[in-house]
Structure 1
Amino acid sequence: MITRKSEATSAQTQADPNRSAGIIIFALLAAASLLPTLLTPIPAMVDYPNHLARMYLLAQNGDPGANPYYEVRWALYPNLGMDLLVPRLAQWVGVESATRLFLLCSQILIVGGALALERVVKGRVQIGGFVALLFVYCLPFSWGFLNFEFGLGVSLWGIAFYLVVIEGTFLTRLVVNAFFVSALFAVHFFSLGIYGAAIGIYELWRAHQRKVPYHVAALRLVLLGLPVALLLLVMRATAGSVGSEGTEWLFQYKPLWLFRIMNGYNLTVSAASVLVLLISLYFAFKRNVLTIEPVGIWLAAGFALLYLLIPSKLLGTSFADLRIIPAAVMIVAAFCSLSLPNRKWRAVVLLVVSGVIIANLATVFAVWLSYRADYAALIASFQKLDRGSRVLVGTSGDGDDPPFKDLTQYPMAYAPTLAVHYANAFVPNVFTEIGKQPIRPRVDMQRLAIPYGGPVPMRLLSAIAAGGTTAAVPSFIQTWHRDFDYLYVLGPAAANPLPDRLQEVDRSARFVLYKIDRRP
């Protein structure tokens, strides 16, 4: 049975005049959190331009003027949330607006799912919405993991619905579980894992508390996994897959991600936010102002163990362990209760939470606004490309990609991929990974494609052009100076590195466009 507060406590809470103030503050913060998405044509997220480029390719598939270098190959892949929804919506509102609406729906699903889960668990909403707003621009979301964000929102709703029917009939649980498993499988496989982990831990706790016999709990867990097993069998039979790259553990980063998670653009803001929240939680638990139910402890421990054990890259999904953090916090928050003794405590809590939300939101808004001119300049530069050209993307930096650089520069990394729409160009680092996206380079272009990777360091391109190649050089750039027509160099402006090979065509604060002399 799901634990609920007594009717007397609920009535007292509803009669509290400060509840109205909390609702108003939450509504204002929620509205403010949606403003960057509503007001920014292209949100300055690392992966967002690449996703937008893929949406253009999907929406134009079959049209007479479709890009000649790419083709669409559908299969039963488990990461197709926006690929399935955005092109259909784009028929009514256009690709750019449809992609932003998908992001907006993802944010609404996250906040709404956190509220719904808390309502089911406690019979009222209290802290879940604020916790969701704390994480609505956390690192995996602000980096543009759009299918995961949408999927996590769906998984929160799925957990809430499962808890509603947990004491219902076998058929009811089967239908609810099968619906959400199928939806999450299609949207994002890792979000399905979050859903399964939360429900599985909850069922194990119920068995441990003798709320259900162990054999019943085992049957329930089999019920949870059965739709997944069936979908995986169908996927294998239809030549589908879950990603295509290997697995990689980066244990040294796990302690650091805890302080990096709150903000995708500024390490100082993120670390300060985490420290403020940890200190606040310490005093709240010490004074018994914040309490957690036993099942919440089980969920927290279970997700903590998953975070430690799961690889950083899992079946081609990067930062898999990092994605567990916001999911775990929002789920566990539903099982926590806040009992504030007086108005002073209420004011302090609202001030702390609002301050952290506003600090992170202001950082996001500032970065996104700073990119409007650069994105506009980049789109204008596409008009200077010959239609149907091949476009390589380089960087004036060293090409290293540690997770603690100046992340305000990252949103430019995939922006040149939009040339596939504006100039019908080929760009090698458009997302075309088998098992994750339905877009493929045509057979004659596959040797030049890199389905997952950022800009190439200019120092490496210069060495190749000078004849200093080695066997370790990726195949798609071994003869770049003869295979590509244009080169975008991202990063701080620098002198032309190859004046005998490159002719400057356009430049902005964050890029330079060169035409390549393709002579032998």
Structure 2
Amino acid sequence: MNAVKSDLTEDEQANLVAPNQADCRRESLRAVAFIVLAALISLIPVLSVRFPPMTDYANHYVRLWLLTGGINRPHMADFYQIDWNVAWTNIAIDLMAFVLGKVAGIGIIGPLMLGLALLLPSLGVALLNRKLFGGFHWWQVLCFVLAWNSVFLFGFLSFSISLGLALIFAYADEHLKSRNPALVFGVRAVLSAILLVAHPFGLLFYTALLAALAFGPSIAPLRQRKMFFAAVLRVLVAVAPVFLPLVIFLLFGPSLPGQKNVSLFESMYWDNPSLIRSFMMLLTYFRTYDIRIDMIYLLLLLVVVRETIRRNLMRLHWGLILASIVLGLLSLVMPTQVFDTGGIDVRLPCMMALAAAAGLRPDVRGRLQLIILPVVFLVVASRTAFIEYVWLQRSADVASVERVLDHVEPGAAILPAQTSLDTAEFQKMPVGRSVGGMFPSFLHYPALASLERDAFMPYLFTAAGKQPLRVREPWRAISVPEGAPVPSRLLDMDVADYLPYMADWKNRFDYILLLNADMESSSYPMPTFDTVHIVADEGFARLYRIDHDASH
């Protein structure tokens, strides 16, 4: 192998897709065994912890519980109603839970959704990489370190599932592309519709993958004008079916998620843009709970890529590599929020990492061939072991919340709050209480009040267009479709302009649930009120009863 394979023509690359197939079959089977082991090992944290420190997960869990029958509980029926007429995208987990709820309980459905969101992207990388380069391979095992990433730990489950589906659909497309063009167009349109319903960013990733695969594995189109225009034409033909379901939904579907009477550009928001923030955003798919540990695994991946390129042992699919580069560059200008959906800027870095992983095939020679599979498996296992350690540590926080909630009577209204911290104090939180250095992992633990005590909390996910759940009157007056615990220092301030449920909160809510209470700041202590009295203090969680004004 005298040069990096990406410099070869497409025909030459096609001949290299599966070199020495007879000799490699045994290695491929060994790789399959280790891929299965990596997947099973990765599921250990999912099966050992009921409510892991994932930012959105508890909120999703409670909504899925409602969809699978919890809505029939007396107080829940007073609080919420199910309405599928206004939910048409971002509902992958909702649809699956609704269907599976007829045969399984939330105790099975919750971990199943977690497992799918965790494993589908890595399995999709393995399948697409196998199709492009031939055979299963140790690189696909190593890519399971990407299963643990900040976006999954944010609890973006439908998004993560849609990324995996996009990769699997691209793999299937590679098998179909030589068939009748009409059949290929129809299949791509159907798969695009599925992804649009699952999550719109999954559809975007599928579009990028189709474009990359149509461009081809060679760099030659960027060097010759005639080949470039031929590649552009292939890309346009490949992605054309994607727009059919999108246009149909935009013309005939319900309104888009988000604010009413606000234009797309007016809804865009950038959160303190800077070079450092942009750089850290590019690392989204490599970050978990401790950036120091995360960087060890990132450096390992970079060393593998660098050394195999230096030794002329790397094969590339240039279409996917170029797609990865374009996605990375676009991510630098993405807004933080569009309409009522946040975390927009962390989506494209995920696609960038997965496209690159699928488009690389590093090889090894000599004695390393004998030990590479066990070594990369141990790397994956160590990554999972770190997550398991963090999840078990933070289980104490969930237990603390559950203990204070024992004092809440059914039908009560709970106002979630969190201790106010400055930047330095935020950085000192115990491992697992923040994800990727960006969001606290405990923001949606208050949703457990609905699950375990039939109580009301004001920000269960009910965004129009994204969740099939609506708040009934009169509870709608003290709810928002998305939110977070109010910082404790704001309790004695007038913040009703941007937190409408805080208006007259002393008479609208029955309890305050304070989270991260064991890190209460001396600079921002919990305000005191004559009508607010502590009921239970369990360290991380603290519960206060609100005595209502008799005139109300």
Q: How does 1:340-419 map to 2 (within 5 A)?
A: 340-344=364-368, 347=371, 351=375, 353-354=376-377, 356-398=379-421, 406=429, 408-409=432-433, 410-419=440-449
- Tell me what 1:247 maps to: 268
**Structure 1 gaps, min length 5:** none
The answer to whether the Cα contact below 8 Å between 1:396 and 1:492 also exists between their aligned partners in 2 is: yes
The answer to whether the Cα contact below 8 Å between 2:53 and 2:441 also exists between their aligned partners in 1 is: yes
Give 2:22's match in structure 1, choosing from 11, 26, 38.
11
Q: How does 1:61-460 map to 2 (within 5 A)?
A: 63=72, 65=74, 67=76, 68-74=78-84, 75-127=86-138, 129-204=140-215, 208=221, 209=227, 217-235=235-253, 239-244=254-259, 246-250=267-271, 251-252=273-274, 253-344=277-368, 347=371, 351=375, 353-354=376-377, 356-398=379-421, 406=429, 408-409=432-433, 410-460=440-490
Give a deviation string over 1:80-112, Cα, whole Å, max 9, x none: 111111133233221132111122133342233
Using structure 2 for the length normalisation, give the TM-score: 0.83
CA distance in 2, matches of 1:404, 1:278: 27
Give a deviation string over 1:259-293, Cα, whole Å, max 9, x none: 45323211211223223322332222222222313
The residue type paired with residue 241 of structure 1 is: L
How far off is 1:182 after superposition?
1.5
How far off is 1:340 after superposition?
1.0
- Tell me what 2:65 maps to: 56
How far off is 1:355 after superposition?
5.5
How far off is 1:417 after superposition?
1.1
How far off is 1:199 after superposition?
1.0
Give a deviation string over 1:461-488, Cα, whole Å, max 9, x none: 1x23xxxx36756322132112100110
Q: 1:323 to 1:204 in 2, by over 3 A?
A: same
CA distance in 1, matches of 2:209, 2:258: 23
More displaced stretch, 184-193 vs 375-384: 375-384
CA distance in 1, matches of 2:124, 2:357: 12
1:47 maps onto 2:72 in alignment:
no
CA-atom RMSD in angstroms:
3.0
Q: 1:402 to 1:193 in 2, by over 3 A?
A: farther
How far off is 1:23 after superposition?
4.8
**Structure 2 gaps, min length 5:** 1-9, 222-226, 434-439
1:38 maps onto 2:47 in alignment:
yes
Q: 1:496 to 1:190 in 2, by over 3 A?
A: closer
How far off is 1:402 after superposition?
11
Q: 1:349 to 1:403 in 2, by over 3 A?
A: farther
| Runs ≥4 residues deviating over 6 A | 399-405
The answer to whether the Cα contact below 8 Å between 1:289 and 1:338 also exists between their aligned partners in 2 is: yes
The answer to whether the Cα contact below 8 Å between 1:504 and 1:513 also exists between their aligned partners in 2 is: yes
CA distance in 2, matches of 1:117, 1:82: 24
How far off is 1:193 after superposition?
0.9
How far off is 1:398 after superposition?
3.2
SS at match of 2:364: coil
Q: 1:201 to 1:7 in 2, by over 3 A?
A: closer
SS at match of 2:103: helix
Give a deviation string over 1:317-374, Cα, whole Å, max 9, x none: 33333232333333333332222121236646863x4465334322211121123343
CA distance in 2, matches of 1:308, 1:142: 21
How far off is 1:154 after superposition?
0.9
SS at match of 2:43: helix
- Tell me what 2:224 maps to: none
Percent identity of paired positions between Structure 1 and Structure 2: 23
Q: 1:402 to 1:318 in 2, by over 3 A?
A: farther
The answer to whether the Cα contact below 8 Å between 1:4 and 1:123 also exists between their aligned partners in 2 is: no
The residue type paired with residue 247 of structure 1 is: M
SS at match of 1:412: coil
